[in-house]
């Protein structure tokens, strides 16, 4: 009972602190902007810990954050091996393959308006093919190691990047294209100097959608067959052993990998599309 | 209407590639089967055949090529086999039968729609909170954005099993996953939409001495409609995929996800492929319904799509 009371108190204290910080005179400072969500996240973790102890929740249902953190530190080497297998091999390779293929098809399709009108609806239909159906098929074709995961990821990221790139390549004004023509610029010069840079905000939009999809694809595909290493493999076997703290440790790894991958693409976007209104 | 011909062309090209790929993909299996049935196959042992690619094998045994299109347990089923299976299970069966894809489709669709309604409802409420409360904006919004980069879909099966062990079963756990997946797109889209009125428009309302509530109903809410529809379209397909993934651990009883799993585990690729395409068609239909609603609504409101 004491723990539950403490949890309630800490929740109220954290919220009041945030109210003061967010409505106070320094609320537009960078430090406060970071502190407010950090305090919010921290209160949730503490309240979670206290409630798990207070209600004596079975660790098979919900482990306490402290035991997850303990697992995270103890099982470092295993988590690192899983990370290498799933993220560096499966997700990243597949992401790059899907990206290059999408660019190639987008540039090809862009040469003919006829093809563009055909590819976009078909592309959005193919993007709706659920991964649960495609993953087992690809695992059966390509074996259970990381190659099949890369193929699943490539298939998943291909369509969002394709659709966004095709839309982006259309985003130049007739005036701008005419200007290039007065410079006697050919197709490729116009492409690299005008149309690709103009398409970058759209392309990055597709790339950012792709980052999350890539991780989901690589992890879910491992549920359908994998060597004895990998995040999806670890999640399903640890779950079978009722070691939920290990499952949560993998969730933390997945969350960290997902947000840093997204952050990486966003920082590249900031550097390459500094001229766009949304970045200024 | 003018995009019908291009779409058909692209579909025809894809079907052509698919038809060609069927031959090398299935050739080894077909050759093994043909030999068991007593036909002459070049070369004549399975080990020796492994030396050849599927295409090489097809060129040596051209008379086996038609068989690759009718093989019962193919690596890659031919388009007409998938179409036949879909016709059989959608139209050929009574819709209450367990062999009917319509039955399995409804099993998947019901939790999707329930979850979508819950998720979008809560999402709109949270978005209103974020727009009107500075504290919520500052503390919750960053987490709402970060949470979209977390591959939560990969954990859906665990959530289902944990809820099941706590005695929560049936429609609700699957709806929970669907709700979660449609929740954040709606939050992010609605916050953008509710903030889309310009300072000029907000000032105008202030000169009318409009109250906060009037400002919300007359300006902010209508202005958010295009953003809301864009979020709906993302959310409904995410919900459907979430429900399908959530069906995996339920012992594969019913639903699209269960059909895909059954087809994979019991060596019935046709069942998997038919469920796969049926699921994609369902998603396309749901998104199509929202696009149509969007067009009608926005036209009546005198707006263009965002």
pLDDT of residue B116 exceeding 90, the answer is yes
One domain for residues A126 and A180: yes
The DSSP line for A115-134 is HHHHHHHHHHHHHTS-HHHH
Burial of A138 (0-12, 13-18, 19+ CB in 10 A): buried
pLDDT for B262 = 79
Domain boundaries, chain B: 4-75, 101-301
- Mean pLDDT score of chain A: 82
Local structure of A245: helix, strand or coil: helix
| Integer Cα distance of A124 and A144 in angstroms | 28
Same domain, A52 and A77: no
Answer yes or no: is A62 within a domain.
Answer: no
- Beta-carbon count within 10 A of A246 CB: 24
- A22 and A130 fall within a common domain: no
Instruction: Mark A109-128 as b/e (b = at least 16 C-beta within 10 Å).
Output: bbeeeebbbbbbbbbbbbbb
Q: Specify if A235 maps to a domain.
A: yes
Q: How many other CB atoms are there within 10 angstroms of residue A175's CB atom?
A: 7
Do both A80 and A155 map to the same domain? yes
Judged by CB atoms closer than 8 Å, whether chains meet at B140 and A39 is answered as: no
**3-state class of B149 per DSSP?**
coil
Residue A255: inside a domain: yes
In a domain, A254, yes or no: yes
Q: How far is B301 from chain A (nearest CA, A)?
A: 26
Interface check for A259 against chain B (CB to CB < 8 A): the answer is: yes
The single residue listed with the structure tokens 């009125």 is B197
- To the nearest whole Å, the CA of B277 is away from the closest chain A CA by 7
| Centroid of chain to Cα A13 | 33
Same-domain status, A111 and A222: yes
Interface list for A 113-172 with B (CB within 8 A): 114-119, 121-122, 124-126, 128-134, 136-137, 140-141
Query: Is A14 in the same domain as A53?
Result: yes
Closest by CA to A17, choosing from B225, B189, B138, is B138
Domain membership flag for residue A63: no
Q: Are A81 and A234 in contact (CB under 8 A)?
A: no
A280 has pLDDT over 70: no
pLDDT of the residue at A95: 92
Question: Which residues, other chains included, contact B125 with Cβ-Cβ below 8 Å and sequence gap of 6+?
Answer: none
Helix (H, G, I), strand (E, B) or coil at A63: coil
Nearest CA to B184 out of B240, B239, B135, B110 is that of B239
Give me the DSSP letters along B40-57: --SS-SHHHHHTS-HHHH
Q: A253 and A155: one domain?
A: yes
Share of chain B above pLDDT 70, in %: 93
Do residues A17 and A100 share a domain?
no
* Nearest of B66, B26, B52, B105 to residue B286 by alpha carbon: B105
Same domain, A47 and A130: no
Residue A216 lies in a domain: yes
Whether the per-residue pLDDT at B265 is higher than 80: the answer is no
In Å, the largest CA–CA distance within chain B is: 91
| pLDDT in the model for residue A100 | 93
pLDDT of residue B147: 75
If pLDDT is split at 50, 70 and 90, which confidence band does B117 have?
very high
pLDDT at B54 > cutoff 80: no
Shared domain for A99 and A180, answered yes or no, is yes
pLDDT reported for residue B118:
93
Asked whether the ipTM of the predicted complex exceeds the cut of 0.85, the reply is no
Residue A180 in domain: yes
Q: Is the pLDDT of residue A266 over 70?
A: yes
Within 153-172 of B, beta carbons closer than 8 Å to A belong to 153-155, 157-158, 161-162, 165-166
Confirm whether pTM is higher than 0.90: no
pLDDT > 70 in chain A, percent:
98
Cis previous bond, B43, omega within 30: yes
For residue A28, being part of any structural domain is answered with: yes
Q: Which of A149, A140, A144 is nearest to A218 (CA)?
A: A149
| B144 touching A (Cβ < 8 Å) | no
CB of B278 within 8 A of CB of B90? yes
B101-301 maps to which CATH number?
1.10.3720.10
What pLDDT score does B122 carry?
A: 92
What pLDDT does residue B231 have?
85
- A29 and A139 in a single domain? The answer is no
Domain range for A230: 72-279
Candidate ranges A257-261, A274-278, B85-89, B206-210; pick with highest mean pLDDT: B206-210
Report B:172-231 residues touching A (Cβ under 8 A).
Answer: none
Closest CA to B77 of B262, B226, B274: B274
Residues of chain B found within 8 Å of residue A212, distances taken between Cβ atoms: 148-151
User: What's the gap in Å between the CA of B148 and the closest CA on chain A?
Assistant: 8
Average pLDDT, integer, range B109-113? 90
Element (H or E) spanning A221, and its range?
Answer: helix A196-222
DSSP A13-30: HHHHHHHHHHHSTTTTSH
CA distances from B195 to A157, A189, A201, B209, B221 (A): 30, 40, 21, 20, 10
Which CATH number do you get for residue A207? 1.10.3720.10
Residues A268 and A230 in one domain: yes
């Amino acid at each position: 009972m004491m723990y539950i009371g403490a949890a309630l108190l800490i929740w109220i204290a954290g919220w009041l602190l945030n109210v003061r910080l967010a409505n106070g005179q320094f609320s537009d400072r960078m430090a406060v902007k970071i502190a407010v969500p950090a305090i919010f996240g921290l209160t949730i973790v503490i309240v979670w810990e206290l409630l798990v102890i207070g209600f004596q929740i079975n660790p098979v249902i919900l482990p306490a954050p402290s035991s997850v953190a303990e697992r995270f530190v103890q099982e470092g080497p295993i988590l690192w091996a899983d990370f290498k297998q799933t993220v560096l091999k499966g997700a990243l390779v597949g992401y790059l393959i899907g990206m290059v293929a999408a660019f190639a098809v987008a540039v090809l399709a862009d040469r003919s308006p006829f093809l563009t009108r055909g590819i976009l609806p078909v592309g959005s239909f193919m993007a709706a093919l659920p991964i649960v159906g495609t993953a087992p098929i690809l695992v059966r074709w390509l074996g259970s190691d990381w190659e099949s995961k890369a193929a699943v990821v490539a298939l998943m990221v291909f369509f969002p990047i394709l659709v966004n790139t095709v839309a982006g390549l259309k985003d130049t004004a007739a005036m701008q294209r005419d200007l290039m023509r007065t410079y006697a610029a050919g197709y490729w010069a116009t492409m690299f100097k005008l149309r690709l840079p103009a398409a970058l905000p759209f392309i990055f939009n597709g790339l950012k959608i792709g980052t999350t999809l890539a991780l989901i694809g690589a992890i879910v595909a491992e549920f359908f067959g994998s060597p004895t290493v990998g995040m999806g493999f670890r999640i399903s076997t640890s779950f079978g052993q009722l070691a939920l703290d290990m499952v949560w440790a993998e969730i933390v790894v997945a969350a960290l990998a997902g947000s840093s991958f997204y952050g990486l693409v966003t920082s590249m976007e900031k550097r390459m599309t500094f001229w766009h209104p949304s970045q200024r | 209407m003018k995009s019908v011909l291009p779409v058909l062309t692209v579909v025809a090209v894809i079907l052509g590639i698919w038809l060609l790929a069927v031959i090398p993909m299935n050739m080894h299996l077909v050759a093994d089967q043909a030999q068991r049935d007593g036909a002459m196959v070049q070369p004549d042992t399975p080990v020796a055949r492994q030396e050849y690619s599927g295409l090489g094998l097809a060129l040596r045994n051209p008379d086996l090529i038609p068989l690759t299109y009718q093989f019962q347990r193919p690596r890659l089923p031919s388009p007409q086999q998938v179409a036949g299976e879909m016709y059989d299970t959608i139209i050929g069966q009574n819709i209450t039968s367990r062999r009917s894809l319509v039955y399995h489709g409804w099993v998947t669709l019901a939790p999707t729609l329930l979850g979508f309604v819950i998720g979008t409802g809560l999402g709109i409420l949270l978005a209103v909170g974020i727009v009107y409360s500075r504290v919520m904006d500052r503390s919750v919004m960053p987490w709402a954005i970060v949470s979209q980069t977390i591959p939560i879909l990969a954990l859906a099966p665990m959530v289902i099993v944990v809820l099941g062990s706590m005695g929560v079963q049936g429609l609700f756990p699957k709806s929970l996953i669907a709700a979660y997946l449609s929740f954040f797109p709606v939050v992010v889209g609605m916050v953008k939409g509710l903030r889309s009125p310009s300072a000029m428009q907000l000032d105008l309302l202030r000169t009318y001495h409009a109250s906060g509530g009037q400002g919300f109903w007359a300006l902010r809410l209508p202005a958010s409609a295009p953003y809301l529809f864009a979020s709906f379209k993302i959310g409904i397909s995410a919900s459907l995929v979430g429900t399908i993934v959530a069906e995996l651990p339920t012992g594969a009883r019913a639903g699209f996800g269960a059909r895909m799993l059954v087809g994979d585990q019991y060596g019935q690729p046709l069942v998997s492929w038919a469920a796969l395409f049926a699921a994609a068609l369902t998603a396309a239909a749901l998104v199509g319904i929202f696009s149509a609603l969007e067009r009608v609504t926005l036209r009546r409101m005198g707006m263009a799509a965002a």
